[in-house]
Structure 1
Amino acid sequence: MSDVPHWNPKQALDRLREDGREFSTLFRHGSLEVEFYKPDKVDRQQPHSRDELYVIASGSARFVLLGRECLVQSGDVLFVPAGAEHRFHNFGDDFATWVFFYGPDGGEGA
């Protein structure tokens, strides 16, 4: 086993099952917080206080950010500024994403 901070989607999904939640925090360092998120049928998240990046781990979905929409799929990267309304929809059971929160409350552009 390596001491290097390292996760793969299977490990992250196992952690979600252990936690019994749709998201799990895997790592924190400074302002960086790494989570894994797998919504169950409906994305109920609310705007967050910090900037975030999503890296789609598996599946596909429609993503809405401030009224603009796009198709996302495995490997895509999304930026969401702090406080912005956003949501995934039309995703299947295989959809999951890495989430990276960073910076101060209010976002780096505040």
Structure 2
Amino acid sequence: MTGTPPAHFALAKAVAAVPQGAPVPAAEIFAHGTMKLEFYAPDGVDRQQPHAQDELYIVQQGSGVFLRGEERFGFGPGDALFVRAGVVHRFEDFSDDLAVWVVFWGPDGGEAA
């Protein structure tokens, strides 16, 4: 490994990294091995598709309903939401200020239980 990976990821820089008008308003902030840190701030409708890796959402701000497979549950700031690779999921009925950190990791298809 060359150099030391960064240890701090500022919210303001993550927000600024999201491309304006992108169909999926997200930006990769950091990658290390199989792990990726992204910032996601959907605008009105969450159009994401299932992902190849397991993922963890950490809600920075906002609230709403999260769909994971057949489950639906409320979420708010500070909550963490786990989704296995390949599972249909999305944010629904969410506030205009929704902003989440997303951590992807592991092999395509997800890790064994």
Q: When the two structures are superposed, what TM-score results if normalisation uses the length of structure 1?
A: 0.90
Partner of 1:93: 96
1:27 to 30, 52, 71: 30
- Partners of 1:24 and 1:90 lie apart in 2 by 22
Please, which runs of 5 or more residues in structure 1 have no aligned partner? none
Task: Give the letter aligned to residue 104 of structure 2.
Answer: F
Matched residue SS, 1:98: strand
- Partners of 2:11 and 2:62 lie apart in 1 by 12
Aligned pair count reads: 106
- Partners of 1:84 and 1:4 lie apart in 2 by 30
* Residue 4 (structure 1) shift: 3.6
Deviations 1:25-71 (A, max 9, x none): 00000000000000010000000010000000101110011111111
* Residue 109 (structure 1) shift: 1.9
Partner of 1:14: 16
Deviating above 3 A after TM superposition, structure 1's stretches of 4 or more consecutive aligned residues are none
* Residue 104 (structure 1) shift: 0.1
* Residue 23 (structure 1) shift: 0.2
1:26-105 mapped onto 2 (5 Å cutoff) = 26-105=29-108
Matched residue SS, 1:11: helix
Please, which runs of 5 or more residues in structure 2 have no aligned partner? none
- Partners of 1:72 and 1:83 lie apart in 2 by 21
Task: Give the letter aligned to residue 10 of structure 2.
Answer: N
Instruction: Tell me, yes or no, if structure 1 residue 107 matches structure 2 residue 103.
Output: no
Report percent identity of matched pairs.
Answer: 45
Q: When the two structures are superposed, what TM-score results if normalisation uses the length of structure 2?
A: 0.88
RMSD: 1.4
